[in-house]
Structure 1
């Protein structure tokens, strides 16, 4: 028998909760969303229910309301110490996870819930899709096959945007991306004007920056976050959800004349499924393994979904 001492296992940096344990933390917080609200907020093929909102998102909104209140107090104390009045400092939440994980639904539901808390009436939401390079640039740089990978984003523009928002600048603009035309919309923008909370949703928002060529430290997108959420699911489930969404869109938005994906609209079922699984394997799965999943341990909160999209486990980083 090998008598050499084995290294002690590292303690988990997370508190782990079952679905029922987490649901109990909502305490007496009222559920302010209706079924009609949820129907408007959910993404295509996302079966989220009001029970899911009550069990998972309501406790999370309560926790974040407490975090925001504490952070606002800290900012106020700092301004008092400095004898400065430099305006509002927004609380920024990052939401990360794979394609088809449900980030958009999570972000919109949290935006709706948080805006109903008394200390955070103004909650804005921006997706990093708007900071993708235009297709013309991606084609020139031979990056269309890596759309969604870190190198396909204008990271400098995203960092400037977050820096301006965090500094309390007025009317900060972000570009707008269309999933129908699969490109940035020229001249379109969304304006962020000193919100109480800004939610930033994207695939790679927790990814550390690559070292600059001159050796100087480069800021991370997540440097601007006060809290971050990673939405996790198995590769098999993510692929199945992606294919199901693709098959649905084939009957809807893919048929719009301006759709980038119109070439898939008239495929038969087997051809469409094969095309979806090919896209998943060549692009999304590779991006998940290389760039997205490795950032999961950097999140403050991890929500793990089962095959039915139901969140089964919650992990909250210990303070």
Structure 2
């Protein structure tokens, strides 16, 4: 964390992992080492120990948040004299490409599902709300894929509004990382979750308020809790490059892959391509759009150069 985050002026209380781990209390470990291994993303070396030290305390904290939020919702309904049923608790997870958002989302989903109350927990990524490549190409936005303007924000907001309203069945588009595009006609259906996790690069993004004062909803307006995965820029760049090179040996070899053309290139050529993609697209997006949203998160998980979480910052105001 930076100097301000460590000062008395910071809105966060910062914990070293060894101190944060003590807040697990008696929260049971419900995942096996094999299950943790199956949930991690490529090049994300999460361990059972890290789940115990970092994610079990988060699970305990979220149990308190969910209970308190449900109590507030019930109180509001009593005040209004209505009974509209439950309102799902929504968790947003933000951070750069290659920083480990997907692993965090999957680990949390499995831990939350295994609470004694057995809540229905769903996970959705914002990738499904990217505009199709044909639209991005027509608008000259392929080099801005992952930037705020490359998403169908209206569709994403409509999806979240329906979830919050308790709509029994809500559909979302499907994105394929293999073909690097929206799958035509494919949808996933979310049915009345108790908890929804929304993971994406720019889920904490805002914009300037309109001069006429009219309400403009942001994706984060629907969140009950938010998490930002943080790391030094250079570390994220290295993780991105390492992941790209591993994908060259695996997924890119599939003829259906959007990046199949890179599978036959030499290592030096592929390294140059990956470096260019990082510098032109992902680094710019991180600096301009993603990192500036970090202070909006309730919880910041700070990783070291080896991809392990070493600090946890919890918002106190």
Instruction: Please give the alpha-carbon distance, in whole angstroms, between the structure 2 residues aligned to 1:270 and 1:34.
Output: 39
Matches within 5 A, 1:161-180: 161-180=159-178
SS at match of 2:90: strand
Query: Hey, what does 2:286 align to over in structure 1?
Result: 288
Instruction: Please give the alpha-carbon distance, in whole angstroms, between the structure 2 residues aligned to 1:281 and 1:52.
Output: 31
Q: Which moved more, 1:269-278 or 1:177-186?
A: 269-278
Instruction: Please give the alpha-carbon distance, in whole angstroms, between the structure 1 residues aligned to 2:194 and 2:187.
Output: 20
Query: Hey, what does 1:6 align to over in structure 2?
Result: none
Matches within 5 A, 1:72-111: 72-111=70-109
Question: Quick check: 1:120–1:196 contact (8 Å CA) kept in 2?
Answer: no
Question: How far is 1:316 from its partner?
Answer: 0.2
Query: Hey, what does 2:151 align to over in structure 1?
Result: 153
Find 1:229's aligned residue among 224, 227, 230. Answer: 227
Q: Deviations over 1:122-153 (max 9, x none)?
A: 10000000000000000000000000000000
Task: Name segments (4+ residues, structure 1) moved above 2 Å.
Answer: 209-217
Instruction: Please give the alpha-carbon distance, in whole angstroms, between the structure 2 residues aligned to 1:139 and 1:178.
Output: 17
SS at match of 1:250: helix
Note if 1:260 corresponds to 2:258.
yes
Instruction: Please give the alpha-carbon distance, in whole angstroms, between the structure 1 residues aligned to 2:123 and 2:208.
Output: 26
TM-score by length of 1: 0.95
Question: Quick check: 2:91–2:196 contact (8 Å CA) kept in 1?
Answer: yes
Find 1:34's aligned residue among 32, 35, 49. Answer: 32
Question: Quick check: 2:97–2:201 contact (8 Å CA) kept in 1?
Answer: yes
Question: Quick check: 1:231–1:303 contact (8 Å CA) kept in 2?
Answer: yes
Instruction: Please give the alpha-carbon distance, in whole angstroms, between the structure 2 residues aligned to 1:34 and 1:242.
Output: 28
Q: Which runs of 5+ in 1 are unaligned?
A: 1-8
Instruction: Please give the alpha-carbon distance, in whole angstroms, between the structure 2 residues aligned to 1:199 and 1:288.
Output: 21
Q: Deviations over 1:241-267 (max 9, x none)?
A: 001000000011111111000011011
Q: Which moved more, 1:291-300 or 1:114-123?
A: 114-123
Question: How far is 1:81 from its partner?
Answer: 2.1
Instruction: Please give the alpha-carbon distance, in whole angstroms, between the structure 1 residues aligned to 2:266 and 2:241.
Output: 14
Query: Hey, what does 1:5 align to over in structure 2?
Result: none
SS at match of 1:160: helix
Question: How far is 1:275 from its partner?
Answer: 1.1
For residues 14 and 157 of structure 1, do their structure 2 counterparts lie closer, same or farther at Cα, with a shift above 3 Å needed?
A: same
Matches within 5 A, 1:116-195: 116-119=114-117, 121-195=119-193
Q: Which runs of 5+ in 2 are unaligned?
A: 1-6
Note if 1:243 corresponds to 2:241.
yes
Aligned-residue RMSD, C-alpha: 1.3
TM-score by length of 2: 0.95
Instruction: Please give the alpha-carbon distance, in whole angstroms, between the structure 1 residues aligned to 2:185 and 2:303.
Output: 37
Query: Hey, what does 1:204 align to over in structure 2?
Result: 202
Note if 1:49 corresponds to 2:41.
no
Instruction: Please give the alpha-carbon distance, in whole angstroms, between the structure 2 residues aligned to 1:299 and 1:184.
Output: 28
For residues 158 and 213 of structure 1, do their structure 2 counterparts lie closer, same or farther at Cα, with a shift above 3 Å needed?
A: farther
Q: Deviations over 1:187-241 (max 9, x none)?
A: 1111111111000000000011354597633111000000000000011000000
Query: Hey, what does 1:12 align to over in structure 2?
Result: 10
